[in-house]
Chain A
Amino acid sequence: MIEGAVRLNRFGLERGRFWSAALLALAVFAPALLWTQWDGAVDGEEAVPSGTVITLEASSNPGAVGKGRVWFTVPGDGWVTETGANRQSAVTLVHSPVVVRTSAIGGVDDILVLFERQARDLRMGNRVLFATGSRDYVTPTGLTGYWGDLTGERYSGALIVVGRGEVAAVIVAVAPLGRLEDQLGDLTNILATLEASDVE
């Protein structure tokens, strides 16, 4: 317990201490403001030419250290990517109105478990999507796994989890309700070139 006399300003706060607090507030907000504004000012959209081969390194989660690669060819023109959201293990491609996010995951024990976990994550996400009608799926390149239809309040899409060995590719394609069917060709073209390898 301390006791002392303090001089107050008109707001009932100690005199001469407002500006230091204001500067501190500014300093706390500064990094978030600086980076979000700068990030927003830089155009991260980049066109991806048809025929570009995209290779993803399988992420090495500490609990699942398997490695490998996933790759596919961008089908046709009109695809762009949001470079800021891309990682070595994941890429987001947009062919308006369809958004396709492809991830490479290593150390997979069971594709079905991974499919169910991915479906759960989509249910937990900001844009709630439910995977329904899941079924076995084999890509034209021979990767085996599962396909589920995604349904949400305003969006629909598809969740495809396929792999080879310990490496899996997870593809989440999302479009406004009823719009994916028109663009399904793009998705099947991606799947037609999708390959995975657990050799580093």
Chain B
Amino acid sequence: MSSDVMTRVVMEGQGTFVRVRRPAYWLYVGLLAFGLLYIGDRLSGAFGHLAGALWVPIVLNGLLAALFIWILGRMDLFEREPAAVRAAALLWGALVATSFAIIANNAMVSLITKLYGVNFATKWGAALAGPINEEWLKTLGVVCIVLIVREHFQRSMDGLIYGAFVGLGFQVVENLTYAINNAVSNPNSDLAGSVSVTLLRILIAGPWSHPVYSGVAGLGIAFAVTQTGRTRAMRYGVAAACFLAAWALHFLWNSPLPAWLPKGLAFFAVYGKGALILVFFFILYGISARREWHWFTEIMHDEPESVITPAELESMRTLRTRRLARKKAAKDYGLYGKRIMTRLQRAQVVLGEAKARCKRADGDLASAPDVLLARANIVGIREELNAPGKKRIGLKTRKQEGEDVGEPPAR
């Protein structure tokens, strides 16, 4: 029997992340189930005894997660990654990477202790085990998502965002396990142990922890899979370099301060390490964001001024320039104008995405329904903005505007 006879072809419609025909999807589901059981087993026992001491860490880590989700949602200026895929990345970090990292880290620290003694393991155990195992496992989360939904990776920035979500999930669960461990090991009180370590981890390591490292590694993975016009050596070289950079950043953070450093300088040294990590990350982000901008100008350059004017195109460059454009609209047209400008900017991003999708599918830009719809939407919004009398509305106070909306028309 030839292999052709065995081949079946099906037409299927699926959601943004569920791909029941892809083996990697089932691998993801299986690993997630394992992680859920493993982490659930570790946390549920502790919750039974320490529930009173854990609500503060849970709330604080929830706030940390919400803040990061808000920031990450704004970092990709020209595309909003699907919520389902972001959630999948977060869950990989929270359940899969953490559970395998706990097993690997414990064994590795035990091995280091056996081979090099307690003092060396105390000093370097976390600096070695953390980056080696954790960065590897988190980066595989991005690889897994690529294997499941490659279509959601258009440019390097997508990998950075998904990587950061993997890192965020990891950081939150890691913080909770630290809270539990310290609640148990504190000699005086569960609450003192869990809260003190949570505050320490959020205030000192919060801004430059796992989301940053994994974002860097994820950027490399996305570069490798999206920059198909470049040589393989270049693509995989960048991916490897980004992974090594993520490893090095993590190692830098976990490594002990030199013994000769005066105690008074330790605080500055710790924050100095953090600042270095953040600077590196933002340089990479800046490069990536610039490439995103070039992509956007390229895909929108042939649009007429009724869709996007040169000034509007320039104003789409950064969050700051977009905010300035909205402020200007507010100045010219009042709050109404600001709202319309916000809608216009969103609609222009949607058009860019629709055109990119159409190009990838070798479709006809002149007849693709979603491109036509996005374009018509922009024209409609612009007509609203330029409609006669808007200046007059713009001069009204918010209260007057509200009254206009709230009152029924006079008969």
**A positions within 8 Å CB-CB of B:** 1-10, 12-15, 17-18, 20-22, 24-25, 27-29, 31-32, 34-36, 38-39, 42-44, 59, 61-64, 83-88, 105-110, 113-114, 117, 120-121, 124, 168
Across the interface, B132 reaches (CB within 8 A) one of A6, A31, A105, namely A31
Are A21 and B23 also in contact (CB < 8 A) when A8-B10, A87-B122 are? yes
Across the interface, A21 reaches (CB within 8 A) one of B13, B121, B147, B186, namely B147
CA distance A62 to B186 in the complex (A): 8
Asked if B188 and A85 sit within 8 Å, CB to CB, the answer is no
Asked if B10 and A6 sit within 8 Å, CB to CB, the answer is yes
Asked if B114 and A124 sit within 8 Å, CB to CB, the answer is no
Asked if B24 and A15 sit within 8 Å, CB to CB, the answer is no
Are A38 and B10 also in contact (CB < 8 A) when A28-B140, A63-B196 are? no
Asked if B96 and A28 sit within 8 Å, CB to CB, the answer is yes
Q: Is B387 interfacial (CB 8 A cutoff)?
A: no
Nearest-Cβ distance from residue A92 to partner chain B, whole angstroms: 12
**B positions within 8 Å CB-CB of A:** 6-16, 21-24, 26-27, 31, 45-46, 49, 96, 100-101, 103-104, 107-108, 110-111, 113-115, 117-119, 121-122, 132-133, 136-137, 140, 143-144, 147, 151, 182, 184-189, 192-193, 195-197, 200
Residue among B24, B31, B192 facing the most chain A CB atoms (10 A cut-off): B24
Asked if B111 and A63 sit within 8 Å, CB to CB, the answer is no
Closest to A27 in B: B140
In the bound complex, residues from chain A placing their C-beta under 8 Å from that of B24 are: 17, 20-21, 24
Nearest-Cβ distance from residue B389 to partner chain A, whole angstroms: 41
Are A83 and B113 also in contact (CB < 8 A) when A29-B100, A63-B188, A64-B188 are? yes
In the bound complex, residues from chain A placing their C-beta under 8 Å from that of B8 are: 7-8, 12
Asked if B185 and A44 sit within 8 Å, CB to CB, the answer is no
Interface contacts beyond A2-B16, A8-B7: sample of 4 additional A-B pairs, CB < 8 Å, sorted by A: A22-B23, A31-B137, A63-B182, A87-B122
In the bound complex, residues from chain A placing their C-beta under 8 Å from that of B31 are: 25, 28
What 8 A-B pairs have minimum CB-CB distances, sorted nearest first?
A: A84-B110, A35-B107, A21-B23, A63-B196, A63-B192, A31-B104, A44-B114, A39-B111
State the majority secondary structure of interface residues on A.
mixed
Closest to A108 in B: B187
Asked if A1 and B14 sit within 8 Å, CB to CB, the answer is yes
CA distance A108 to B189 in the complex (A): 10
Asked if B151 and A17 sit within 8 Å, CB to CB, the answer is no
Asked if A83 and B114 sit within 8 Å, CB to CB, the answer is yes
Asked if A35 and B108 sit within 8 Å, CB to CB, the answer is yes
Asked if B45 and A124 sit within 8 Å, CB to CB, the answer is yes
Across the interface, B11 reaches (CB within 8 A) one of A4, A14, A21, A109, namely A4
Asked if B9 and A114 sit within 8 Å, CB to CB, the answer is no
CA distance A113 to B104 in the complex (A): 34
Asked if A42 and B9 sit within 8 Å, CB to CB, the answer is no
Are A86 and B137 also in contact (CB < 8 A) when A8-B9, A21-B27 are? no
CA distance A88 to B189 in the complex (A): 22
